[in-house]
């Protein structure tokens, strides 16, 4: 890192390799290895950086993945500016309602809420 000027502020380059096992039809299908790089303007221990990176991916898995996969946000054809924001608020509101009603599985919560008006009334605390 001697060639990088000090004013750039780059102090640490982190390389993370991760491997996950994909199982299809009860057989191990793949074990792809993914390499990701992170840049930091500060120095810290490897375990501290590991915690930061894992916490970031925890948010990614808890919120963005649910919105993309369960709620179909990426498949949405809404392109008009005010509607995009309205649907983001509606999706977040639904997730917050599911979590406040102690659902751990958002897909299961969404399926249960489509079953009928009684479930929706209970979740929205209506009579």
Asked whether residue 69 falls in the same domain as residue 86, the answer is: yes
Confirm whether pTM is higher than 0.85: no
Q: What is the domain count for the chain?
A: 2
Asked whether residue 35 falls in the same domain as residue 78, the answer is: no
Kindly tell me the burial class for residue 101, based on how many C-beta atoms sit within 10 Å of its own C-beta (0-12, 13-18, 19 or more).
middle
For residue 79, pLDDT over 80 is answered with no
Asked whether residue 122 falls in the same domain as residue 88, the answer is: yes
Asked whether residue 54 falls in the same domain as residue 92, the answer is: yes
Q: Look up the domain containing 120 and give its range.
A: 47-127
Asked whether residue 67 falls in the same domain as residue 103, the answer is: yes
- Per-residue pLDDT, averaged over 29-42, amounts to 87
- Per-residue pLDDT, averaged over 71-81, amounts to 79
Asked whether residue 75 falls in the same domain as residue 34, the answer is: no
For residue 48, pLDDT over 90 is answered with yes
Asked whether residue 75 falls in the same domain as residue 127, the answer is: yes
Asked whether residue 25 falls in the same domain as residue 62, the answer is: no
- Per-residue pLDDT, averaged over 67-88, amounts to 81
pLDDT band at 127 (very low <50, low <70, confident <90, very high): low
């Amino acid at each position: 890192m001697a060639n990088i000027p000090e004013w750039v502020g780059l102090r640490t380059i982190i390389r993370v390799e991760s491997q996950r096992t994909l199982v299809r039809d009860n057989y191990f299908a793949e074990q792809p290895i993914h390499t990701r790089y992170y840049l930091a303007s500060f120095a810290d221990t490897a375990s501290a950086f590991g915690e930061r990176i894992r916490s970031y991916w925890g948010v990614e898995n808890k919120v963005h993945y649910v919105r993309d996969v369960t709620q179909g946000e990426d498949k949405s054809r809404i392109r008009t500016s005010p509607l995009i924001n309205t649907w983001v608020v509606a999706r977040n509101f639904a997730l917050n309602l599911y979590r406040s009603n102690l659902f751990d599985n958002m897909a299961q919560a969404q399926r249960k809420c489509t079953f009928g008006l009684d479930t929706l009334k209970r979740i929205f605390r209506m009579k």
